[in-house]
């Protein structure tokens, strides 16, 4: 099954979603089409399984970074943000699959597959909500709605991630990482964090993510 998913991921990465068909997949695997259907009932099932693998990978990244020896609540929020913000640079195909799941206005998957994967993605979101709540409870952030803050953080970082495709044009001042850092600092300060602590937290988070995730 993992070989099927690896091959499907390779097709998606090289040629896009439209190139992935059960017939093409069977050909690349050296299977009959019928044999492929014994493992996955449809293309939707394969795309859904790939998305679940992406979500699991991102969850693993988050846990690895949050297991770093830091208890500072602002740094931990910055870690969550940095881990998500750098996904497109670390694993471009994973970022595209996740973006397609969350951002495509069309219903890419049927309701059963889409709902299951959305729930898994929302489970990752609870990590951000939990860290925001901890920071608020500790007084590092002002009182506010943790869920709304997590959604604002996610939606804003998702938007900034789209600018990575423009970096090849070397537009002055356009750096997705720098924009993400500025965004996170602005939000944290707006939510009541000390400006100096917010800046230091973002610097620490960048170092820790590089050590824990980007080097793996």
Residue-wise pLDDT for 147-169, tens only, equals 999 999 999 998 898 888 887 78
Domain coordinates of the chain in residue numbers?
1-40, 50-214
CATH superfamily of the 50-214 domain:
Tetracycline Repressor, domain 2 (1.10.357.10)
* Integer angstrom CA distances of residue 123 from 116, 118, 126: 11, 9, 5
pLDDT band of 105, cuts 50, 70, 90: very low
Residue matched to tokens 């980007």:
214
Residue-level pLDDT at 119: 74
187 with 174: CB under 8 angstroms?
no
**Which of 43, 80, 110, 109 has its CA nearest to residue 209?**
80
80 with 33: CB under 8 angstroms?
no
Answer whether residue 100 shows pLDDT above 90: no
Model confidence pLDDT, tens digit, residues 4-60: 999 999 998 889 888 999 999 999 999 999 999 999 999 989 988 998 898 899 999
CATH superfamily of the 1-40 domain:
Homeodomain-like (1.10.10.60)
| CA–CA distance, 61 with 205 (Å, rounded to integer) | 13
Residue 81 has which token pair?
């943000």
Residue matched to tokens 């709304």:
148
Say which range, 2-11, 23-32, 71-80, 207-216, has the weakest mean pLDDT. Answer: 207-216
- φ/ψ of residue 40, rounded to 5: -135, 130
Question: CA dihedral defined by 188, 191, 197, 201, rounded to 10 degrees?
Answer: -30
């Amino acid at each position: 099954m993992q070989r099927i998913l690896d091959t499907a991921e390779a097709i998606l990465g090289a040629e896009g979603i439209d190139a992935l068909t059960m017939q093409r997949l069977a050909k690349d695997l050296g299977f009959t089409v019928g044999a492929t259907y014994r493992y996955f009932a449809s293309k939707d099932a394969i795309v859904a399984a790939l998305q679940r693998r992406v979500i699991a990978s991102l969850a693993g990244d988050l846990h690895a970074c949050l297991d770093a020896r830091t208890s500072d609540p602002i740094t931990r929020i910055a870690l969550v943000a940095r881990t998500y913000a750098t996904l497109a640079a670390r694993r471009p195909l994973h970022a595209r699959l996740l973006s397609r799941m969350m951002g495509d206005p069309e219903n890419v998957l049927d309701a059963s597959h889409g709902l299951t994967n959305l729930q898994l993605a929302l489970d990752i979101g609870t990590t951000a909500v939990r860290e925001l709540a901890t920071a608020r409870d500790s007084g590092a952030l002002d009182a506010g709605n943790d869920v709304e803050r997590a959604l604002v953080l996610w939606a804003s970082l998702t938007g900034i991630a789209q600018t990575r495709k423009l970096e090849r044009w070397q537009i002055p001042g356009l750096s997705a990482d720098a924009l993400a850092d500025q965004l996170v600092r602005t939000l944290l300060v707006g939510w009541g964090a000390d400006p100096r602590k917010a800046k230091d937290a973002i610097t620490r988070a960048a170092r820790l993510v590089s050590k824990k995730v980007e080097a793996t």
